[in-house]
Amino acid sequence: MRSITILGATGSVGASTLDLIRREREVWRVEALTANCSAKELAALAREFDAKVAVVGDEGCLADLREALSGSGIEAAGGRSALCEAAARPVDITVAAIVGCAGLGPVMAAIEQGGTIALANKEALVSAGDVMTAAVAKHGATLLPVDSEHNAIFQCLQGNTIEEVRWITLTASGGPLRTLSADELHAVTPAQAVAHPNWDMGAKISVDSATMMNKGLEFIEAHHLFPVGLDRIRIVVHPQSVIHSMVEYRDGSTLAQLGPSDMKVPIASCLAWPRRMETGCEPLDLVAQGELTFFAPDEERFPATRLAREAAEAGGSAPAVLNAANEIAVAAFLDGQIPFTRIALSVEDTLAQSDLPPAPTSLDDVLAVDSAARERARALLEIA
C-alpha cells in the first residue's frame, strides 16, 4: 500500500488523480482530500476512498462538510491552517493541485514533511521559486512535476545531466484564440477563452492558455526545476499538443516526450515514478494525427510570454508580482469587468508601477509581495 494526500481533490487534476487511483484501488491508501469548498462533492469522495480527513479551505463550508460526513468516522476540518495541517501529514506522495497562491502554504507544509510532492501548482515555483527550492533541499523532499510540459522534460532528462543540455523547449498549443486578429481578440468572451481545443482544464488555467500566460508561468517554473539558464529555455507553439516538450543535448540529439492530451499521463508518471502504470488513455496514433507543426510565439498579439521572460530576468519579487497581477486580471475578465486584451496590459502596468521589494527569503515575504501586488492590480483596473 502507498499513502497519498490530494490537495485540490475536486479540481481537474484532482479528479484525474482519483480516476487513476480507482484503477489500482488495492495499491493506494488515501490520507487526506481537500477542496476550497464543494463540501458535498468532497464528502462523497472522502467516503468513496475512505480518507482519514477531508478539509475545506473556506471555513464557511465546514458545517456542510461535517453534515455530509456525519457517521462516516472521517475527520472534517476547515480553514487555511487546516489545509496546511493536512498537507503536513506524512504520506508517500502528496499531489499539490490547489490553483493559485492559495496553494503556497500547503505546498510548503508538504515540502517541510520531507516527502514526495507531485506539483501541479505552478504558482508555487513562479511566486516562491527560490524559497521553495531551498526548502526542498533543506528537508530532503522530492518534487515531481505534474504539468505536462515539465513532466515531459523530466522524462527526457532521465539518465542524463543538466550539464549536457543545450536547449529546453516548452511546447505551447497556442490556445483557442491563436489565429484571431488583434481586433478579434479584444472582443473575445470568457466562453471563447475557456474553450481549449486540446485540454480539459479549469477556467483560470484555460484563460492563461488563451493569453499564453500559462506558458510564461511555465517558463519561470522550468527555470527553477531545470536550472540550465534562462537563455537556454525557449517556447515553441505546437497546435496539436502531441509533443509535450523537448530537450536538446550538446551532441545534437533531441529527446521529445509524446502522448495524448490527457493529464492522466503526466499524473500517472508521478504516481508510479520511477516505474509506470496503466492510465486507460487511448494510445497515440501518429498516422491518424497526420502532421505536427511548429511556430514561433507571436508576442505582439500575445505579450504574456514576453512579460514572464522579463520578470524572470528581473528576478527578485517580479515573478510574484506578475503572478498576482495575472490572477486579479483573469478573475476580472471572467467576471466580465475587462476585455480579454486588458489582461496582459494590466499585468504589464502592475509590474511597471510597483515598487518591487527585495527578493523574498521566506513564505511570509512572498505572501506580502503577493498581497501588495493584488492591491496595486485592483487599483489600476479601477483607474482603467
* 261-292 core/surface letters (b: 16 or more CB in 10 A; e: else): bbbbbbbbbbbbbeeeeebeeeeeeeeeeeee
Instruction: Tell me the C-alpha distance between 173 and 45, whole Å.
Output: 32
pLDDT surpasses 70 at 300: yes
**Which cell numbers hold the place of 60?**
464557511
pLDDT surpasses 80 at 318: yes
C-alpha to C-alpha distances, 334 to 102, 220, 328, nearest whole angstrom: 18, 24, 10
pLDDT surpasses 60 at 384: no
Instruction: Tell me the C-alpha distance between 306 and 289, whole Å.
Output: 31
**Which cell numbers hold the place of 28?**
493506494
Lowest mean pLDDT among 126-135, 199-208, 281-290, 293-302: 199-208
11 is in an annotated binding site: yes
CB–CB of 75/47 below 8 Å? no
Instruction: Tell me the C-alpha distance between 321 and 358, whole Å.
Output: 12
Domain 2-145, CATH class in plain words? alpha beta
Instruction: Tell me the C-alpha distance between 165 and 327, whole Å.
Output: 33
38 is in an annotated binding site: no
48 is in an annotated binding site: no
161 is in an annotated binding site: no
* 139-158 core/surface letters (b: 16 or more CB in 10 A; e: else): eebebbbbbbbbbbbbbbbe
Each domain of the chain, given as residue ranges in start order, spans 2-145, 150-314
202 is in an annotated binding site: yes
The mean pLDDT of the chain is 94
C-alpha to C-alpha distances, 273 to 143, 265, 268, nearest whole angstrom: 11, 12, 8
Q: For the chain, what percent of residues have pLDDT higher than 90?
A: 89
Q: 358 or 344: which carries more pLDDT confidence?
A: 344
CB–CB of 249/264 below 8 Å? no
The bridge status of strand 243-249 relative to strand 2-7 is unpaired
147 is in an annotated binding site: yes
- pTM assigned to the model: 0.92
Q: What are the pLDDT digits (tens) for 163-194?
A: 999 999 999 999 889 999 989 999 999 999 98
C-alpha to C-alpha distances, 356 to 34, 316, 321, 352, nearest whole angstrom: 33, 8, 8, 9
**Which cell numbers hold the place of 214?**
500559462
218 is in an annotated binding site: yes
Per DSSP, the residues of 90-102 read: --SEEEE---SGG
121 is in an annotated binding site: yes
5 is in an annotated binding site: no
